[in-house]
Amino acid sequence: MEQETLKAPKKIILTRKIQVHIDCDDAEKRKAYYQQLWDWQWMAAKAANLIFTNLYVQDRVKDLIYFTDDVKVKIADKKKDEEGILNSSRMNTTYRILSSNFLGKMPSNIFSNLNNTLNSLYNSEREAYWKGEKSLRNYKRNIPLPFGADKLKLANGDKGHDYMFSLFNIPFKTYLGKDRSDKKVLLQRTLAGTLKLRTSSLKIDQGKLYLLATFEMEQEEHHLNDAIIAEASLSLEHPIVVKVGKEHFQIGNKEEFLHRRLAIQAARHRLQRGSTFNKGGKGRKRKLKSLDDYTAKEISYVNSRLHLYSRRLIDTCIKTQAGTLLLVNQAKKEEVAKEEEFLLRNWSYYGLKEKIAYKAKKAGIHVIEE
């Protein structure tokens, strides 16, 4: 009797940007923690540039014409290859450089994960460097600090809404606010042990702290047929129009998306004209607070609409068993949008495409952009 072989479920990787705070009431300690993170971030930027510089030099050392002709160069471990010029593996050479420069100054877990990530990234781009199609990456001091998943210990917050964790002996607390996405669900599943956390990172951006949490989860299983193609057209008139065989579906409408967005913009313009007469008190920030509130309203509204439209599109594909999603004439539309200021300002092609791509990947749908 033949035994049925079980296929391992496909895995997908999700990254979520979650705002966090240093969970410490002592002002002096909190200031010291922030300074520590800034110092590590500065060192991480230098470490990243060292990695890329050394990897590029190793690759191109044979092109240095001032070497004599009898010099033979082979980038390999001499223990494994007689003609090799390295005394260890390529990845280990950059690790040793980082260790000699930063050991004791920053956690080794950070520069170890940084080394692994950037070695993989360099290898994926090295051919483009050789052909002169891409310039070598240059990292600035806002680079995220990568760390192993085992370094983050997650726990429920006091009020049950946010989460607490310790990272390199620094206490943190998440700030989820009015979370309308799946961040809280993903964190709760991670805490319960049903979701696996992968190598993640911590980023300081304009004085704010963000956890770039990376999760590994199983791909959703749906009965899809790659031969069934859903043709989707993205436009300002109708956010998404989908054609699957003889069936047509319209997702969203102009009145719902554009008119509401323009109404928010008009309200902001009215406030802007009157902001001169606003009470100062604390200077520019106080005067422009209402403007910032309306800017945030517009961003929030657009983001929620795009999430809704992309979700309905993927649900339509699943319902019709379409395993392939074709974005019709998308490249041409984006070129037109670059020339028209109104389209560029009011139709978020990139945001919608990004959300469609993520949800399609999660559902196992192949996306093609025409």
Predicted local distance difference test score (pLDDT) of residue 76: 47
> Exposure pattern of 274-291 as b/e (b: 16+ CB <10 Å)?
eeeeeeeeeeeeebeebe
Strand ranges for 132-269 from DSSP E: 145-147, 153-156, 163-167, 170-174, 196-197, 200-205, 208-218, 225-234, 240-244, 247-251
- Among 32-46, 189-203, 338-352, the minimum mean pLDDT is found in 338-352
Predicted local distance difference test score (pLDDT) of residue 30: 92
Predicted local distance difference test score (pLDDT) of residue 67: 53
| Residue 283 identity | G
pLDDT tens across 313-356, in order?
999 999 999 999 998 887 777 776 666 666 556 677 778 888 88
pLDDT tens across 73-125, in order?
544 444 555 545 555 577 788 888 899 899 999 999 999 999 999 999 998 98
Predicted local distance difference test score (pLDDT) of residue 3: 46
Largest CA distance in the chain: 85
* Half-sphere exposure in the Cβ direction for 79 (13 Å, CA): 4
Predicted local distance difference test score (pLDDT) of residue 5: 45
Question: What is the rounded distance in angstroms from the CA atom of residue 259 to the CA atom of residue 305?
Answer: 13
Beta-bridge partner residues of 147:
200
**pLDDT average, residue stretch 234-247:** 83
Average pLDDT, the chain: 80
| CA angle in degrees (0–180, nearest 5) for 268-269-272 | 90
Q: Could you identify the residue written with the tokens 């007469």? A: 277
How crowded is residue 17: how many other Cβ atoms within 10 Å of its Cβ?
12
> What domains does the chain contain, in order, with CATH numbers?
11-28+144-218 (no CATH), 32-130 (no CATH), 225-369 (3.30.420)
Between these two residues, 219 and 31, which has the higher pLDDT value?
Answer: 31
Q: Could you identify the residue written with the tokens 């009015």? A: 178
**pLDDT average, residue stretch 356-363:** 86
pLDDT tens across 140-165, in order?
888 999 999 899 888 887 766 788 99
Question: What is the rounded distance in angstroms from the CA atom of residue 12 to the CA atom of residue 21?
Answer: 28
**pLDDT average, residue stretch 54-59:** 83
DSSP category for residue 176: -
Q: Does the pLDDT at position 233 exceed 90?
A: no
Structure tokens given for 54? 């050394």
Question: What is the rounded distance in angstroms from the CA atom of residue 355 to the CA atom of residue 232?
Answer: 14
Assign 206 a pLDDT band (cuts: 50, 70, 90): confident
Is the pTM higher than 0.75? The answer reads: no
* 273-to-280, 284, 287, 288, 290 alpha-carbon distances in Å: 15, 15, 12, 11, 12
Residues in the chain: 370
Q: Does the pLDDT at position 6 exceed 60?
A: no
